[in-house]
Amino acid sequence: MDLFLQVLINGILQGGLYAIMALGLALVWGVLNIVNLSHGAFIMVGAYVSWYTFTWFGLDPFLGLPLTALIMFGVGYATQRGILNLIAKAPMFNTLLITFGLEVVLTYLAQLVFSADFRTINPSYSGHNVTVLNITIPLVRLAAFGVAIFLTLVMWYFLLRTRLGRAIRATAQNLSAARLHGVEPRHLYAITFGLGIALAGAAGGLYGTVSQINPYIGATLTAKSFAIAIIGGLETPLGVITGGLVLGLIEAMTALYIGPTFTDVASFGVLVLVLIIRPSGLLGRTA
């Protein structure tokens, strides 16, 4: 029983991190209708930004997350206005090609700048644990889970309660009506993409505290983010939290009862089932 509870907690903690990783992709996909294949590469870049702020400036990785997110927001805003805005009305296949190209460019630039060495963000408390009822919880993983859920809920509040958030939702639902109310789509699209990449950067900073980073992690993280967005649904951040927790628990239980080799098979198998049974996601609206 203790082993089961330990694995269950680990799956929940991993699921919270997965949720924040997928939130930026879901936001960009839901508003801009862009399936950003470079999303995982931006998570990787955010992890390196956080690693440098910690290594060079001694800034705690959790306290440095706002700086990482701000830097990545600027990168995302510039990317949308300078590149993606040129194909805003192009077929989705074009956006898939250009975002895939961005993923390749970012990966090889990271290899050139950072080399292919594995790196981790190890603050002084990285080896500390919290023990509850014989369940050992790594302090860093617990903190990363808490920050991930907090950021997801903040984004939920932002989209539902703020003027800018309502403008983003209105643009996603009806672009013509939003223009009649004075919304400037190109600027709003750039802000939305910037927010998505800022969330990816924050997710990268959290990822670097619990796992190793290298230039090649982007493709895997994009695939997981895509699966989470589909499983939970794109309509609400709560769906992304649900998708992340489901994926984390599936991977944890598969590793326990079948073997760690089959975790990806199980998670993407669930993705296929969701697409067949409930294409809008677990919390998405049905027609």
Q: What is the pLDDT of residues 221-237, one digit of tens each?
A: 999 998 898 888 766 77
Domain that holds residue 172: 21-215
C-beta of residue 179 within 8 angstroms of C-beta of residue 51: no
Specify if 242 maps to a domain.
Answer: no
Task: Kindly write down the DSSP assignment for every residue of 63-108, as one continuous string.
Answer: TTHHHHHHHHHHHHHHHHHHTGGGGTTS-HHHHHHHHHHHHHHHHH
Structure tokens given for 251: 């991977």
Question: What digits encode the pLDDT tens for the residues 207-220?
Answer: 999 999 999 999 99
Specify if 82 maps to a domain.
Answer: yes
For 176-195, letters b (16+ CB in 10 Å) and e give eebeeeeeeeeebbbbbbbb
Specify if 52 maps to a domain.
Answer: yes
d(CA 183, CA 162): 15
H/E stretch holding 156? helix 139-161
Handedness of CA 230, 241, 155, 212 (dihedral sign): negative
Q: How far, in Å, are 87, 104, 117, 230 from residue 98 at the CA level?
A: 9, 10, 27, 22
Specify if 262 maps to a domain.
Answer: no
Burial of 238 (0-12, 13-18, 19+ CB in 10 A): middle
Specify if 269 maps to a domain.
Answer: no
Which residues have C-beta within 8 Å of that of residue 208, sequence separation ≥ 6? 47, 48, 50, 51, 61, 119, 120, 121
Counting other chains too, the contacts that 158-167 makes at CB distance below 8 Å and 24 or more residues apart are 159/237, 164/191
Per-residue pLDDT tens, the chain, 287 aa: give them.
678 888 889 899 999 899 989 998 988 887 777 889 999 999 999 999 999 999 988 899 999 999 999 999 999 999 998 888 877 667 777 888 899 999 999 999 999 998 888 998 988 888 888 887 778 888 898 998 999 889 888 888 888 888 888 888 777 666 666 665 666 677 888 899 999 999 999 999 999 999 999 999 999 999 999 889 888 876 677 788 888 898 999 999 999 889 888 888 888 888 888 888 887 777 665 54
Specify if 268 maps to a domain.
Answer: no
Taking alpha carbons only, the member of 99, 142, 207 closest to residue 12 is 142
H/E stretch holding 41? helix 39-57
The vertex-56 CA angle with 50 and 58, nearest 5°, equals 80
Number of domains in the chain: 1
**Cα separation of the two ends of the chain:** 42
Specify if 261 maps to a domain.
Answer: no
Handedness of CA 96, 98, 99, 104 (dihedral sign): positive
Specify if 149 maps to a domain.
Answer: yes
Q: HSE, CB side, 13 Å, CA atoms: give it for residue 251.
A: 22
d(CA 147, CA 245): 15
